[in-house]
A and B are shown apart, each in its own frame.
Chain A
């Protein structure tokens, strides 16, 4: 209903333009994008699992504690790859497959730093480093706080 209302409010020129646009618009290869994102994201996760096993096997980390150094290693590797200009190409090829895993976080930090490098180290790099990743950290910390609060209250009242 809303759509038809919107259509009605368009002027004849706008409708004509919409038709013209629809005719020339290149269709997004959604299926191809999904498959590539799945494969590349999966490969990154396999690498993460291998790093996790590496820490379990050669160092004194359990399955539970190996998560922290694994995440740190993956972020560090993606930061290096971003600096060398490799991760950008992987990002162009894989889309969400490279952005959604934790490696995308490292990429977001370093690419923002590189972008603002010309404005100086303090106001440029320091001020803009967390332009993209800052919201991720804030949202993560805040949602963890809310979930912990809910869990504490439930445990206190229900005693589960």
Chain B
């Protein structure tokens, strides 16, 4: 009886698919509808504040408007905590070559327009994803403010990590 051989390329794809299926089980259960596709599609979430007061709300709206006015940027998430404001954004694909310059310009412009605020800005996908997840938590209103504040400072710390 002749044993039928599986083509090596098909074998490779089977291996990759099985790896993908195995690792899919690692997903955490805190993914809401907004954050699941945050890396693939444009979200443009409304800016959030952890305190939720009107003055802060107006401020984050202005920050978002300012960031969105840059033509290289297309998806912006703004979260204001007690002291820091986290601005995460996506840069248009072909403009990503000049990402560092865009970041430096944006930081300078924001600091000039809102001199009393402390900004952390990032074009990293991970920071964007985490900010969307945090916004989902803020909107749920089930988590205490201290925990939200702690998570925000963790995200800011993560954005400063280099290695």
Residues of A within 8 A of B (CB): 47, 53-54, 56-58, 60-66, 68, 81, 85-86, 89-90, 93
Contacts and interface: CB of A to CB of B under 8 A. Distances in A.
Contacts, number: 46
Interface bin, chain B: 20 to 34
Given A54-B23, A56-B39, A56-B125, A62 B9 contact: no
B124 interface: yes
Consensus secondary structure, chain B interface: helix
Interface string B133-163: 0000000000000000000000000110111
Consensus secondary structure, chain A interface: helix
Interface of B: 8-9, 11-12, 15-16, 23, 26-28, 39, 124-127, 129, 158-159, 161-163
Contact of B11 (A53, A54, A86): A86
A81 B12 contact: yes
B39 A62 contact: no
Nearest to A93: B9
B126 A58 contact: no
A56 B129 contact: yes
